[in-house]
Chains A and B, each alone.
Chain A
Amino acid sequence: MCREFSSRNIIIPLLNPKISSPAENGTQSSPQMADCLVTCASIVFFVLHIGLFLRLTAAPVAGGRRSPTNGTGNPSLSTPLQRVISVILSGIVPKTKFLSSALPPKSPTMAATASEAVVHEFPLPAILTNPASTPPTLITQGAEGRLYKTTYLLPSIPCALKYRPPKPWRHPILDQRLTRHRILSEARILSKCRRDGLRVPDVYALDESAGWLMLEWVQGTPVRVNINQRLGNRTEGIEDDEELKDLMRRIGAAVGKMHSIGIIHGDLTTSNMMLNPPAGQTETDNVSGLEGEIVIIDLGLASGGVHDEDRAVDLYVLERAFGSTHPRAECVFGEVLDAYKKSFKQAGVALKKLEEVRMRGRKRSMLG
């Protein structure tokens, strides 16, 4: 999808000055597409560089030099970026729309989902009310906020917009503090993961005062759905299901990779992992329903950390969430930990600590 355009080249410098990544996943665009890209890329580049300049002069965000606890942020920070985004949406999108009409439709599933714009009962964030923006689809109302599917720069580049609306039940000061902190911290952590080679969604843009974060659209379904589909009504033979166990191992490896680069997720559940089907395969082609790459998402509660204690608690959260969500598949959870153990050097120590975490505090059971 969008990754084939390797839009990352253009966009990443905006948020992460340290990366000037060449396309990691071999670019396979047709010459026709390449032409379009060159045209719009030059426009985008120009605008974005102004944006980058403004942004860097305002305050570095993605560099992570500001402390995350610095709650009283700089209000001017968002303004240049906001301006850039609105310039992009109002100025460039109409042109690219014209250009994109020449593009062949990329995928039938994509086209279908794009046309299913649902009627919103919630007020849209300001960024999506721009007349030039693609009609957004509300994907889910998550725990923290809402996830919209819309497009970024080109109508053919789908993206996810994570919007954290103000929570009227929270004290406004507390609400603002939490929203700002979480959006900035998520963006920083995502770019760090990206830099260190963990597969997570790319960061496209953000405005922490308005409460949104624009991310790469990850194809596929949450792992929870795949596991539940796989389990169906079965009660037997689950512990011998090799494909399911293989999925467990991939989960373990992904979590291990994340921990090895010093990131603690903070909310590991099977809903917070996407199963990204292999390239060129639509969801229906996925015969076993369990093939694909694990993409860890929703790092809104993540933090940096290399302590075994933090890693163990992270695993414990996953273990318990897994047990509550898929009680029948608990028997294969050991595979996650086995794969985790092999994924990096310190893993063994973290697993040792996990036993301690399990045993202590109120969570242990002491019947009788």
Chain B
Amino acid sequence: MAAASVASPVPHLPTSASTSITPASNTSTSTSTSTSSATSDMAAATSKSSWIALGCEGSANKLGIGLIRHTTTSTTILSNLRHTFISPPGTGFLPKDTALHHRTEFVALARRAIAEAGITPADVDCICFTQGPGMGAPLTSVAIGARTLALLWDKPLVGVNHCVGHIEMGRDVTGADNPVVLYVSGGNSQVIAYAEKRYRIFGETLDIAVGNCLDRFARVLNISNDPAPGYNIEQLAKKGTKLLDLPYVVKGMDCSFSGILASAEALAAQLLQLGPEGAGFTTEDLCFSLQETIFAMLVEITERAMAHVGSSEVLIVGGVGCNERLQDMIASMAKERGGSVFAMDERFCIDNGIMIAHAGLLAYRTGFRTSLEESVCTQRFRTDDVYVEWRD
């Protein structure tokens, strides 16, 4: 997942917590293209052919800031930086600590993003930020940062739905035209398809998100949160062989993970108490069984949505979408249906600022603005609340 994670303890964070900066790769590829930013923003609005947006993301434990350039035909990533708040094993990230992390890192990360993109604040057309869904305190911290930049540089604000950010970035990076989207992360699990100007949710979790299920399971077994609990479960699962019986809960195109988590936690407790010999299975087996069961459920609801809307393309987005086992399972299913899967690596799957900049800029170009008064965040922001003006 995180290809290069540099541990850099921040003094005023909880003592054992560490953070990691993930410099996203393909940066500064087109910094030489010096656009004529001298022209007035308003006057040239109609004849404009190049736009730059800055995106701020912080709905969970990742703070991401990215800059993107759109021309009428292409998109270029100018910079894409991420700083992750990692809590010690056995704990999750709490809103308060995460918000503190975001507040602490915001200015430095924004400066670096601008520097790496090789532009000046004057070149930026709009400031995009995550308006929801996510954890309240971290969202608010980042929104304050975004508002500050907007006022400082006198730029319009664009509030972005986090899920729509994932989808639009996925479509752009993979070139998928009209796929069924499986959006799986620590906070969301949805199967989405586009219809009549909205991303419609066909199926989703009825309780906790799939990533949340994995994260909380990792806590019981004290699996490390660095770089991500899901990544470490994936590595353990590769060595597992025995399939344990876990509940399999699919209701139509929806599914539920809380019962599986409870079962897995009970088995984990048994394992901790009796040891692998006494319990008859290992940590690896348990990780393997959990992955096999929940991913089978995800593949099933995705397949149902594909059959329902008559599509054969799937796009996987969200942090859990990095999991190669899940990607393989979906790919195998899509292949059998005569279709294909579009998946991405950690740069775009895991929360990042660039996706917010991208989706925000798409909306900005259709004339969408978020006034300062409206720039409030919400923990619950449905994917289908967004009117998708920029698609046919």
A contacts, CB < 8 Å to B? 121, 140-144, 167-171, 173-174, 178, 266-269, 271, 301, 313, 317, 320-321, 323-325, 327-328, 361-368
Question: Are A142 and B252 within 8 A (Cβ)?
Answer: no
Residues of B within 8 A of A269 (CB): 252, 308
Question: Are B296 and A170 within 8 A (Cβ)?
Answer: yes
Task: Report which of A141, A173, A324, A367 forms a contact with B243, defined as CB distance below 8 A.
Answer: A173
Residues of B within 8 A of A271 (CB): 308
Question: Are B382 and A365 within 8 A (Cβ)?
Answer: yes
Question: Are A327 and B378 within 8 A (Cβ)?
Answer: no
CA distance A169 to B325 in the complex (A): 9
Task: Report which of A267, A301, A324 forms a contact with B201, defined as CB distance below 8 A.
Answer: A324
Question: Are A174 and B381 within 8 A (Cβ)?
Answer: no
CA distance A167 to B303 in the complex (A): 11
Smallest CB–CB gap between A185 and chain B, Å? Answer: 13
Residues of B within 8 A of A169 (CB): 296, 299, 328-330, 332-333
CA distance A174 to B296 in the complex (A): 9
Contact with A along B191-210 (1 / 0, CB 8 A): 00101101011101111000
- Point out which of A168, A170, A317 has the most chain B C-beta atoms below 10 A from its C-beta: A170
Residues of A within 8 A of B303 (CB): 143-144
CA distance A324 to B193 in the complex (A): 9
Question: Are A366 and B378 within 8 A (Cβ)?
Answer: yes
CA distance A171 to B246 in the complex (A): 13
Question: Are A367 and B253 within 8 A (Cβ)?
Answer: no
Smallest CB–CB gap between A315 and chain B, Å? Answer: 12
B contacts, CB < 8 Å to A? 193, 195-196, 198, 200-202, 204-207, 243, 248, 250-254, 292-293, 296, 299-300, 303-304, 306-308, 328-330, 332-333, 336-338, 376, 378-382, 385
By beta carbon, the residue of chain B nearest A140 is: B307
**Are A143 and B381 CB-contacts (below 8 A) given A174-B296, A301-B252, A324-B200?**
no
CA distance A114 to B338 in the complex (A): 25
Question: Are A327 and B293 within 8 A (Cβ)?
Answer: no
CA distance A141 to B306 in the complex (A): 10
Question: Are A324 and B195 within 8 A (Cβ)?
Answer: yes
Question: Are A321 and B296 within 8 A (Cβ)?
Answer: no
Smallest CB–CB gap between B301 and chain A, Å? Answer: 9
CA distance A141 to B312 in the complex (A): 11
Residues of A within 8 A of B379 (CB): 366
Task: Report which of A301, A328, A362 forms a contact with B250, defined as CB distance below 8 A.
Answer: A301
Q: Count contacts between A and B, CB distance < 8 Å.
A: 95
CA distance A80 to B207 in the complex (A): 44
CA distance A236 to B195 in the complex (A): 18
Question: Are A167 and B333 within 8 A (Cβ)?
Answer: yes
- Point out which of A173, A268, A325, A362 has the most chain B C-beta atoms below 10 A from its C-beta: A362
Task: Report which of A168, A361, A363 forms a contact with B332, defined as CB distance below 8 A.
Answer: A168
- Point out which of A121, A171, A364 has the most chain B C-beta atoms below 10 A from its C-beta: A171
Smallest CB–CB gap between A56 and chain B, Å? Answer: 30
By beta carbon, the residue of chain A nearest B289 is: A171
Residues of B within 8 A of A178 (CB): 248
3 interchain residue pairs of minimum CB distance: A143-B304, A267-B252, A143-B307
CA distance A121 to B339 in the complex (A): 13
CA distance A176 to B351 in the complex (A): 37
Question: Are A171 and B243 within 8 A (Cβ)?
Answer: yes
Task: Report which of B195, B206, B308, B337 forms a contact with A361, defined as CB distance below 8 A.
Answer: B206
**Are A268 and B252 CB-contacts (below 8 A) given A169-B329, A171-B296?**
yes
CA distance A14 to B380 in the complex (A): 53
Residues of A within 8 A of B198 (CB): 327
Residues of B within 8 A of A167 (CB): 299, 333
Residues of A within 8 A of B328 (CB): 169
Question: Are B385 and A362 within 8 A (Cβ)?
Answer: no
CA distance A264 to B338 in the complex (A): 32
**Can you list 27 A-B pairs with a CB-CB distance of less than 8 A?**
A140-B307, A141-B307, A141-B337, A143-B300, A143-B304, A143-B306, A144-B303, A168-B332, A168-B336, A169-B299, A169-B330, A169-B332, A169-B333, A171-B292, A266-B251, A267-B253, A269-B252, A269-B308, A301-B250, A301-B251, A317-B252, A321-B308, A327-B196, A327-B200, A361-B206, A367-B380, A367-B385
Smallest CB–CB gap between A222 and chain B, Å? Answer: 11
Residues of A within 8 A of B381 (CB): 365, 367
CA distance A140 to B250 in the complex (A): 22
CA distance A268 to B252 in the complex (A): 7
Question: Are A365 and B296 within 8 A (Cβ)?
Answer: no
Smallest CB–CB gap between B69 and chain A, Å? Answer: 31
Smallest CB–CB gap between A199 and chain B, Å? Answer: 21
A sample of 11 more A-B contacts (CB under 8 A), given A169-B330, A174-B292, A266-B251, is A143-B306, A143-B308, A169-B328, A169-B333, A171-B296, A174-B248, A174-B293, A269-B308, A321-B253, A324-B193, A365-B382
CA distance A265 to B341 in the complex (A): 30
- Point out which of A169, A173, A362, A367 has the most chain B C-beta atoms below 10 A from its C-beta: A169
CA distance A191 to B367 in the complex (A): 57
Question: Are B243 and A362 within 8 A (Cβ)?
Answer: no
By beta carbon, the residue of chain B nearest A270 is: B308
CA distance A174 to B379 in the complex (A): 36
CA distance A313 to B382 in the complex (A): 19
Smallest CB–CB gap between B304 and chain A, Å? Answer: 4
CA distance A143 to B381 in the complex (A): 29
Smallest CB–CB gap between B295 and chain A, Å? Answer: 8
Smallest CB–CB gap between B84 and chain A, Å? Answer: 24
Question: Are B195 and A365 within 8 A (Cβ)?
Answer: no
Residues of A within 8 A of B292 (CB): 170-171, 174
By beta carbon, the residue of chain A nearest B307 is: A143
Residues of B within 8 A of A143 (CB): 300, 303-304, 306-308
Question: Are A364 and B380 within 8 A (Cβ)?
Answer: yes
Residues of A within 8 A of B376 (CB): 368
Question: Are B251 and A313 within 8 A (Cβ)?
Answer: yes
Question: Are B380 and A327 within 8 A (Cβ)?
Answer: no
Residues of B within 8 A of A141 (CB): 307, 337
By beta carbon, the residue of chain B nearest A357 is: B206
Question: Are B380 and A362 within 8 A (Cβ)?
Answer: yes
Question: Are B202 and A324 within 8 A (Cβ)?
Answer: yes
Question: Are B251 and A317 within 8 A (Cβ)?
Answer: yes
Question: Are A365 and B252 within 8 A (Cβ)?
Answer: no
Task: Report which of B206, B308, B338 forms a contact with A325, defined as CB distance below 8 A.
Answer: B308
By beta carbon, the residue of chain A nearest B288 is: A171
CA distance A171 to B332 in the complex (A): 13
Residues of A within 8 A of B252 (CB): 266-269, 301, 317, 321
Question: Are B307 and A142 within 8 A (Cβ)?
Answer: yes
Question: Are A361 and B207 within 8 A (Cβ)?
Answer: yes
CA distance A140 to B306 in the complex (A): 12
By beta carbon, the residue of chain B nearest A122 is: B336
By beta carbon, the residue of chain B nearest A168 is: B332
Question: Are B308 and A366 within 8 A (Cβ)?
Answer: no
Residues of A within 8 A of B250 (CB): 301
CA distance A332 to B196 in the complex (A): 18
